[in-house]
Structure 1
Amino acid sequence: MNRVRVGVQAEDPITLAGLTSFLKTRAELFVVPNPAEADVIVFAADRVNAKILADMRHSAQQWSMPRVLVTNELNPADVLGAVESRVVAVLPRTAATGSRLINSVIAAAKGGGMMPPNLLGELLKQVDYLQREVLTPKGLNASGLTSREVDVLRLMADGLDTAEIAQHLCYSERTVKNVVYGVTNRLNLRNRPHAVAYAMRVGAI
């Protein structure tokens, strides 16, 4: 059986020690000291406040693997922020029994998730609001790209240069350059290959 490599993070050393000790007893898991080597990270905090959310965001920027969050308190307004920090499962500490925690970790490693119904409902409301009030009025989709940007990046990914893209889409070369500049500047992308890589990563092309 392939064991799931787990990294453990917590807001205080006592919780960290206890959680690490428990997870080490499970045959299905292998606790790694370096989170960069983990398949899943378990993050424990009594309550998710602004500092904890910032810590999770920072951690997610360093390591992209999924997170299982164990907490007593998560403000519904912060659910989207937690998901953006790679959290795929949320367990109340009082309900984080051995089997539930292990099942959540294994599900996360397989690309699944687990979230209480009230938090899932709140997340769906926030995503709907984001799509309806923020993205759609700007002509963006959930990837943060406009349909014009997707068209240009798709052709760029196929190896076409600026002139060929302009001819294919019946745009001027200046328009194509403006589209590329707009997307790289707005999303803080370094160059054209980075823009193509971003579009592929978010599933836009």
Structure 2
Amino acid sequence: MTNRITVLLVDDHSVVRQGVRAFLEVQKDLHIVGEASTGEEAIRLVQDIVPDVVLMDLMLPGMNGIEATRQIKRISPSTNVVVLTSYHDDEDIFPALRAGATSYTLKDIRSTELAEIIRKAAHGESVLHSQVANRVIQEVREARRAVPPVFVDLTERELDVLRLIAEGFSNTAIAEKLVISEKTVKGHVSNILNKLHIEDRTQAAVLAWRQGLMEL
């Protein structure tokens, strides 16, 4: 079958890998192209195979799944990582998402749900387990409350752009860092200036530092 989604399984428990493989192999649109029991092995396989999706456990011997995810995204940006783990503490969730994981789910989900998450990940769509999503929403709300009042009208992406402006990045550099177009960056800058009622990016940078945004 053509255009099948290629999947790499990463888990240090062979029984888990066997169980996941047994189910996914009967899905006609999914193709298991390899298995790894360590982060280092996963990275080597990604370099060789360049799978569409990596199904990643976090608790691995040696290099953990978070660092493996970070390196996988560096060497193969087109590969999307789905975290499949038993852990949903803050020290696992947020570092994994920051490392580049597309989705984060727990091992208590149904097999059919896992297959659908993999399909969505292959197209860059994110899915968070309900417990994980609740924690992420809570964190976002807390972060918004921590933003100085003068910046409350800015969106999360506009805040990201403003922070980078304050750090001295050009529009081109901001576009590369946030993986968006330079035209989009210019739009964000325009919105920031309008919302803050200031004339240029220098004033925006000064305001960000003076109001404590850069200290958060």
Paired position in structure 1 for 2:162: 146
**Equivalent of 2:46, from 6, 19, 35?**
35
Change (3 A) 1:198 1:135: farther
Pairing 1:81–2:82 present: no
CA–CA separation in structure 2 for the residues paired with 1:148 and 1:14: 44
Task: Report the secondary structure of 1:30's partner residue.
Answer: strand
Instruction: Specify every segment of 5 or more residues in structure 2 that has no aligned partner in the other structure, as ranges.
Output: 35-44, 187-216
Indicate if the aligned counterparts of 1:15 and 1:44 stay in contact, CA closer than 8 A: no
Indicate if the aligned counterparts of 2:67 and 2:99 stay in contact, CA closer than 8 A: no
- TM-superposed CA distance for 1:53, in Å, is 2.9
Indicate if the aligned counterparts of 2:6 and 2:31 stay in contact, CA closer than 8 A: yes
CA–CA separation in structure 1 for the residues paired with 2:149 and 2:74: 27
CA–CA separation in structure 1 for the residues paired with 2:16 and 2:129: 23
Change (3 A) 1:57 1:148: closer
CA–CA separation in structure 2 for the residues paired with 1:35 and 1:87: 15
AA aligned to 1:18 is: Q
TM-score, normalisation: structure 1: 0.60
Paired position in structure 2 for 1:159: none
In the TM superposition, 1:13-24 aligns within 5 A as 14=14, 17-18=17-18, 21-22=21-22, 23-24=24-25
Paired position in structure 1 for 2:39: none
Paired position in structure 2 for 1:2: 3
AA aligned to 2:136 is: L
Deviations 1:65-95 (A, max 9, x none): 3222211122145322222233333332233
Which one is further off, 114-123 or 137-146?
137-146
In the TM superposition, 1:176-191 aligns within 5 A as 182-183=168-169
Paired position in structure 2 for 1:197: 176
**Equivalent of 2:75, from 51, 62, 65?**
62
Deviations 1:116-157 (A, max 9, x none): 2232121022233334436888999634322893xxxxxxxx
- TM-superposed CA distance for 1:7, in Å, is 2.2
CA–CA separation in structure 1 for the residues paired with 2:72 and 2:185: 25
AA aligned to 2:88 is: L
CA–CA separation in structure 1 for the residues paired with 2:111 and 2:128: 17
Change (3 A) 1:147 1:86: closer
Task: Report the secondary structure of 1:115's partner residue.
Answer: coil
The count of residues paired between Structure 1 and Structure 2 equals 164
Deviations 1:14-71 (A, max 9, x none): 2575267433443211223432522221112469xx9443333333333333222211
Task: Report the secondary structure of 2:121's partner residue.
Answer: helix
Task: State the superposition RMSD in angstroms.
Answer: 3.8
Instruction: Specify every segment of 5 or more residues in structure 1 that has no aligned partner in the other structure, as ranges.
Output: 150-178, 185-191
CA–CA separation in structure 2 for the residues paired with 1:15 and 1:201: 41
Task: Report the secondary structure of 1:2's partner residue.
Answer: coil
Change (3 A) 1:134 1:7: farther
Q: Percent identity?
A: 14
AA aligned to 2:101 is: V
